[in-house]
Amino acid sequence: SQKIEQNSEALNIQEGKTATLTCNYTNYSPAYLQWYRQDPGRGPVFLLLIRENEKEKRKERLKVTFDTTLKQSLFHITASQPADSATYLCALDRTGYSGAGSYQLTFGKGTKLSVIP
């Protein structure tokens, strides 16, 4: 079965620094790797996705990289702010593939980011 791991349960960084979160997966190659933000008591909110044939994607202060050889995605928040404090989830998406997991979004456990003023 698909397995997705986010290496850190929690990450504390100083305001203004770059936060880097890691997502590793095994067994299946996703068509997309998605990143979500979740605030306490709320549902996850989509941030970015990166396709299997893309190396890097940017959106404002966010950057995602995807290395299909290492089976790893990195999520960066540059110039971090206290408002960036939240839990960040990555998800495997096999849209377009046939077979197991082809309709599912499989989530990692998340990394809780705290940006310290």
Partner 1 sequence: NAGVTQTPKFRVLKTGQSMTLLCAQDMNHEYMYWYRQDPGMGLRLIHYSVGEGTTAKGEVPDGYNVSRLKKQNFLLGLESAAPSQTSVYFCASRDPTVNTEAFFGQGTRLTVV
Q: Is 109 in the site for partner 1 (CB under 8 A)?
A: yes
Using CB under 8 A as the criterion, what x/- string covers residues 8-47 for binding partner 1? ------------------------x-x-x----xxxxxx-
Figure out which of the listed residues 49, 77, 92, 113 binds partner 1, where binding follows CB under 8 A. Answer: 49
Using CB under 8 A as the criterion, what x/- string covers residues 59-98 for binding partner 1? ------------------------------x-x-x-xx--
Figure out which of the listed residues 26, 100, 104, 116 binds partner 1, where binding follows CB under 8 A. Answer: 104
Tell me the CA distances in angstroms from 100 to 31, 62, 79, 87, 97, one per residue in order: 13, 31, 39, 28, 9
- Which residues touch 6 (CB under 8 Å, ≥6 apart)? 21, 22, 23, 24, 88, 89, 90, 108, 109, 110, 111
95 token code pair? 């849209």
